[in-house]
């Protein structure tokens, strides 16, 4: 299926060629790739070369590919078919432009155009809530209203209490069909995946069921995901990324202002009673675990964040984010923001449960097979949160495969290799209690 989604590039420079009259188009063949096309008047001789350059909007375009050129009747046509070896993340917006080199003159570049990598076979409706662009294909106004409510609630509490906000536009894609969503997320999506949030690509993809749904559940889920994106924006200069406990602790805290999606307190009580703590140190991506261990990790993060807020107020959390944004280590951030060491923080927090010598088990990698056989555990048999899952995994894979090299706006294009994107996978509101999953944590 070919769908033209982006058009028009007005010229920025004019040499021997009439770049002002250039028309840029891009055809998305969903699942295969994107074909970039240029057509412009060109009274001069055939250029020495034409390149297409593409990457993220508001970032720096760094990927270059030579286009096939055809000059006939004074019209220059150039085409490049980009076929990423790993699927692009659905919803990603790609900015592109063409550069025309003549034998002796200066290089001429067209103005940029953008194209969105969207599964156009679904009847998408779009809406905006502040800087968030909402895409949904089912559920109508009710789904849109809930998405808006979740976005607003998250942005309000994050701004007012924690001094953090969205710093650039982001896109929220709501899928009513989870199988379709997983397929559109590409080969990297495991059976337990309920969504993906990729700050680097400005995209969050979520499962938003239309039937038998709880409106507050969608609102809370959206608030959770938006929190992750805001935190990424707030701390993008951090050294090695925000720790998972802070990301998930705050996301679950914000989500809980709307609805209790999980009985985190109960889960935490059981963690304490059974001494089933998991070690959260050093995890900056998603929790590298599935099922009960991941749920325990969410509950611990929620509890630790709750302790910080109770002790230092929301200002303490705001200071933590500030410290991380300044690019310090975990230890330094906690010391700077709260005036205690990370160990002291741990001890004080666990002390509130009367725990002195907890056993911290390491989270282990999720077992995809487990997704089809939920752990035999009450908590794990309820629907799980479509939490984040900052799935830059897909982005990273795509990038690693040479599909595209992307830089955030603030990063200099010093290296054509990829930036280290944060990578998260979370389980979703998957029926039957498929485990909360989280795959690749990374260490600074
Ligand atoms: Zn999350």
Q: Is the pLDDT of residue 268 over 90?
A: yes
pLDDT of 406 strictly over 60: no
pLDDT band at 61 (very low <50, low <70, confident <90, very high): low
- Near ion ligand 1, which residues have CB within 5 Å? 248, 251, 387-388
For residue 417, is pLDDT > 70?
Answer: no
| C-alpha 46 – ligand 1 centre gap (Å) | 53
Ligand 1 centroid to Cα of residue 34, in Å, is: 31
Q: Could you tell me the distance, in angstroms and rounded to a whole number, from the CA of residue 197 to the centre of ligand 1?
A: 9
Has residue 377 got a pLDDT over 60?
Answer: no
Q: How much distance in Å is there from the Cα of 248 to the middle of ligand 1? A: 5
> What is the predicted pLDDT for the residue at 159?
97
Least confident of 5-19, 247-261, 420-434: 420-434
Question: 227 C-alpha to center of ligand 1: Å?
Answer: 8
Distance 410 CA to ligand 1 centre (A): 25
**pLDDT confidence tier of residue 339, bands split at 50, 70 and 90:** very high
**pLDDT > 70? residue 362:** yes
User: Where is mean pLDDT largest: 58-62, 299-303, 355-359?
Assistant: 299-303
Distance between Cα 78 and ligand 1 center (Å)? 43
Give me ligand 1 centre to Cα 261, in Å: 12
Mean pLDDT, range 244-249, rounded to an integer: 92
Residue 441 confidence (pLDDT):
26
pLDDT for the residue 185: 77
**pLDDT, averaged across the chain:** 77
Distance 105 CA to ligand 1 centre (A): 52
pLDDT classification of 360: cutoffs 50, 70, 90:
confident
Span 120-131, average pLDDT: 96
- 386 C-alpha to ligand 1 centroid (Å): 8
Write a three-state SS string for the chain.
Answer: CEEEEEECCCECCCCCCCHHHCEEEEEEECCCEEEEEEEEECCCCCCCEEEEEEECCCCEECEEEECEEEEECCEEEEEEEECCCCCCCCCCEEEEEEEEECCCCCCEEECCEEEECCCCCCCCEEEEECCEEEEECCCHHHHHHHHHHHHHHHHHHHHHHHCCCCCCCEEEEEECCHHHHHHHCCCCCCCCEEEEEEHHHCEEEEECCCCCCCHHHHHHHHHHHHHHHHHHHHCCCCCCCCCHHHHHHHHHHHHHCCCCCCCHHHHHHHHHHHCCEECCCCCCCCCCCEHHHHHHHHHHHHHHHHHHHHHHHHHHHHHHHHHHHCCCCHHHHHHHHHCCCHHHHHHHHHHCCCCCCCCEECCCCCCHHHHHCCCCCCHHHCCCCCCCCCEHHHHHHHHHCCCCCEECCCCCCCCCCCCCCCECCEECCCHHHCCCECCCCCCC
Q: How confident is residue 151, by pLDDT bands cut at 50, 70 and 90?
A: very high
Quote the ligand 1 centre to 376 CA distance (angstroms). 23
Decide if pLDDT at 236 tops 90.
no
Distance of CA 96 from the midpoint of ligand 1 (Å): 32
Q: Which pLDDT value is given to residue 436? A: 24
> Domain 125-389+424-433 is in which class?
mainly alpha
Q: What is the mean pLDDT of residues 235-254?
A: 88
Where is pLDDT greater, at 361 or 114?
Answer: 114
Distance 289 CA to ligand 1 centre (A): 13
CA 85 / ligand 1 centre spacing (Å): 28
The pLDDT value recorded for residue 321 is 96
Greater confidence (444 vs 261) lies with 261
Where do the domains of the chain lie?
Answer: 2-116, 125-389+424-433
Q: What is the mean pLDDT of residues 74-92?
A: 88
CATH class of 2-116: mainly beta
Q: What is the mean pLDDT of residues 103-107?
A: 79
Q: What pLDDT does 178 receive? A: 86
Range among 45-49, 103-107, 372-376 with highest mean pLDDT value: 45-49
- Does the pLDDT at position 280 exceed 70? yes
**How many A from CA of 285 to the centre of ligand 1?**
10
Residue pLDDT, tens place only, 189-218? 566 666 777 777 888 989 899 998 899 999
> What's the pTM value of the predicted model, to 2 decimals?
0.76
268 CA to centre of ligand 1 in angstroms: 17
């Amino acid at each position: 299926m070919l769908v033209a989604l982006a058009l028009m590039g007005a010229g920025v420079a004019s040499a021997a060629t009439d770049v002002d009259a250039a028309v840029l188009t891009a055809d998305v063949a969903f699942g295969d790739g994107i074909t970039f096309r240029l057509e412009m008047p060109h009274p001069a001789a055939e250029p020495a070369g034409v390149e297409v350059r593409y990457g993220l909007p508001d970032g720096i375009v760094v990927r270059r590919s030579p286009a096939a050129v055809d000059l006939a009747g004074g019209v220059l046509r150039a085409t490049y078919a980009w076929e990423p070896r790993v699927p692009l993340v659905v919803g990603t917006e790609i900015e592109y432009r063409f550069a025309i080199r003549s034998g002796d003159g200066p290089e001429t570049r067209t103005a940029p155009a953008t194209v969105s990598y969207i599964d156009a076979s679904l009847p998408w409706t779009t809406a905006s809530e502040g800087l968030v662009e909402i895409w949904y294909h089912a559920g109508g106004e009710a789904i849109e209203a809930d998405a808006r409510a979740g976005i607003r609630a998250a942005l309000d509490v994050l701004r007012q209490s924690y001094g953090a906000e969205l710093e650039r536009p982001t896109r929220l894609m709501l899928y009513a069909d989870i199988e379709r969503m997983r397929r559109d997320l590409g080969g990297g999506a495991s059976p337990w995946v309920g969504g993906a949030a990729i700050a680097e690509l400005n995209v969050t993809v979520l499962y938003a069921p239309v039937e038998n749904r709880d409106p507050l559940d969608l609102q809370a889920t959206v608030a959770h995901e938006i929190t992750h994106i805001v935190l990424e924006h707030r701390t993008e200069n951090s050294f090695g990324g925000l720790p998972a406990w802070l990301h998930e602790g705050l996301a679950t805290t914000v989500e809980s202002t709307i609805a209790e999606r999980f009985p985190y307190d109960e889960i935490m009580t059981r963690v304490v009673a059974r001494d089933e703590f998991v070690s959260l140190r050093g995890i900056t991506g998603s929790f590298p675990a599935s099922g009960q261990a991941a749920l325990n990790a969410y509950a611990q993060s929620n509890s630790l964040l709750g302790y910080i807020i109770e002790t230092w107020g929301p200002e303490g959390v705001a200071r933590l984010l500030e410290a991380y944004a300044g690019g310090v280590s975990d230890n330094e951030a906690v010391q700077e923001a709260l005036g205690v060491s990370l160990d002291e923080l741990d001890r004080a927090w666990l002390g509130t449960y009367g725990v002195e010598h907890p056993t911290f088990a390491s989270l282990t990698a999720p077992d995809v097979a487990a997704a089809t056989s939920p752990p035999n555990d009450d908590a794990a048999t309820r629907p799980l949160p479509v939490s984040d899952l900052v799935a830059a995994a897909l982005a990273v894979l795509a990038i690693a495969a040479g599909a595209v090299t992307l830089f955030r706006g603030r990063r200099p294009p010093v290296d054509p290799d990829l930036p280290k994107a944060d990578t998260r996978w979370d389980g979703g509101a998957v029926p039957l209690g498929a485990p909360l999953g989280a795959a690749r944590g990374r260490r600074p």
